[in-house]
Amino acid sequence: MLSRGGAVVTVSASSAVSATLFNPQNPNQFICLFKHNSDKKKSNCYNKSFISSPVYGSVKKAFVRSSSSARRMEVPSRFVVRASAQPLKNADQLIDSVETFIFDCDGVIWKGDKLIDGVPETLDMLRSKGKRLVFVTNNSTKSRKQYGKKFETLGLNVSEEEIFASSFAAAAYLKSIDFPKDKKVYVIGEDGILKELELAGFQYLGGPEDGSKKIELKPGFLMEHDHDVGAVVVGFDRYFNYYKIQYGTLCIRENPGCLFIATNRDAVTHLTDAQEWAGGGSMVGALCGSTQREPLVVGKPSTFMMDYLANKFGILKSQICMVGDRLDTDILFGQNGGCKTLLVLSGVTSLSMLQNPNNSIQPDFYTNKISDFLSLKAATV
């Protein structure tokens, strides 16, 4: 996988070829290229660019799909051919090929508050083989410390230093750009974001306490907002309401240079193990609609967290395997970072979704759940 802008070409047993080009520096930008078989080609497109494709041996029209603007972008002409995902058959081979495993949490380690079968034994086995384990979640409702307590409650021995939530990523990003300490952050989200901002030394307002606020729409009513807000951070929020939408909108639209930051754009999440629930992307989408702006995303599939982890632990990205249950966040996160990728079918993505001809995001391997590391290991001895 290319570490900078590049294309993924997926080849299936039916001789169909599809190609998707993405821009890792802006994961909202994808180039929907060609779907081709022996008798037909088709492109689903928006803005024109041109790239040289070895698939067809000549210059073909590609199209940039960008939710933020209709700007032209330059695209490299190199392609990497990626075969359709293979079922994981030799776990030892994958384990021995990397130093670090990055695990998503929801749908991989647990669902809601229920631990997925075989997780403790699998993590113990990987640690016994000297593997570094890191846990990355797009769920911003908890801080790293709070997630540490959740791991402990579920009987898992995981240190705070091994946990990276998108709530932490938001605070880490603001630190990385030297966000002025005299500016404030308006939070549409829950306690996890507030705690991480506080630990990082940033002033904030909003959060759960604004969940009870209402707007009385009387003739001539003008809603005031704090002009010292220099960033609006939006994450999953069970206390989301119209007051927060309007307040965040005013800050982004009227405060000069105000940043619009999203912890993630996940469509759904696992609040319980019984069903899927609307995710943080629904809150972010409301602000996109009202501001007509696209956010900077600090969670998966943005490369910010991957770069942060690689720098913090001194890890070569080629020595990392990203394990997740979502194609458009977890797997794309790993691929954008140049890592090996393993999709588990214990969460959002089903086998039929993975093998759907319209899906162009293909992990290196897939398996049912992470405890397959144990059974597949035994089967290959």
Catalytic option among 99, 152, 190, 254: 99
Whether the domain at 86-138+301-374 and the domain at 168-297 fall into the same CATH topology: yes
276 is known as an active-site residue: no
Structure tokens at 208: 């759960």
Tokens linked to 274: 């019984």
User: What would the pLDDT profile of 39-68 be if each residue is shown by its tens digit?
Assistant: 344 333 323 332 333 333 333 333 333 333
Between 101 and 77, the more confident residue is 101
Listed by start position, the domains of the chain span: 86-138+301-374, 168-297
Contacts 24+ apart (CB under 8 A), 151-156: 154/109, 154/110, 154/113, 154/115, 155/115, 155/120, 156/109, 156/115, 156/119, 156/120, 156/123
Beta carbons of 322 and 337 less than 8 angstroms apart: yes
d(CA 97, CA 248): 46
The pLDDT confidence band at residue 276, using thresholds 50, 70 and 90, is confident
Of residues 295 and 7, more confidently modeled: 295
Strands of the 184-188 sheet, one edge to the other: 203-206, 184-188, 229-234, 259-262, 296-297
Burial of 39 (0-12, 13-18, 19+ CB in 10 A): exposed
The fourth-level CATH superfamily of domain 168-297 is HAD superfamily/HAD-like (3.40.50.1000)
Please name which of 199, 201, 192, 200 lies closest in space to residue 147, comparing C-alpha atoms.
192
Mean pLDDT of the chain: 82
CATH 3.30.360.10 fits 86-138+301-374, yes or no: no
DSSP, residue by residue, 324-344: ES-IIIIIHHHHHTT-EEEEE
Q: By mean pLDDT, which of 65-74, 195-204, 362-371 is the weakest?
A: 65-74
CA-based nearest residue to 167, from 191, 203, 186:
191
End-to-end CA distance of the chain: 31
Mean local confidence (pLDDT), 280-295: 97
DSSP secondary structure string for all residues of 260-329: EEES---SEE-SSSSS-EE-HHHHHHHHHHHH--PPEE-STTSSHHHHHHHHHHT--GGGEEEEES-III
Helices (H), ranges, the chain: 91-97, 119-128, 144-153, 166-176, 191-200, 242-254, 280-291, 304-313, 332-336, 351-354, 372-379
Q: What is the pLDDT of residue 272?
A: 77
Residue 335: the pLDDT is 96
CA distances from 5 to 20, 106, 319 (A): 11, 29, 21
Pairwise CA distance, residues 53 & 290, whole Å: 39
Q: Is 152 left (phi over 0), alpha (psi -120 to 50) or beta?
A: alpha
The pLDDT of residue 83 is above 80 = no
The residues with which 172 forms a beta bridge, in sequence order, are none
Task: Give the count of beta carbons closer than 10 Å to the beta carbon of residue 379.
Answer: 12
DSSP states along 358-381: T-----SEEES-TTHHHHHHHHT-
Could you read off the pLDDT of 1-25 as tens digits, one per residue? 333 334 444 333 333 333 444 444 4
Q: pLDDT confidence of 268, banded at 50, 70, 90?
A: confident
Range picked from 62-71, 94-103, 304-313 for highest mean pLDDT: 94-103
Give Cα 301 to chain centroid, integer Å: 3
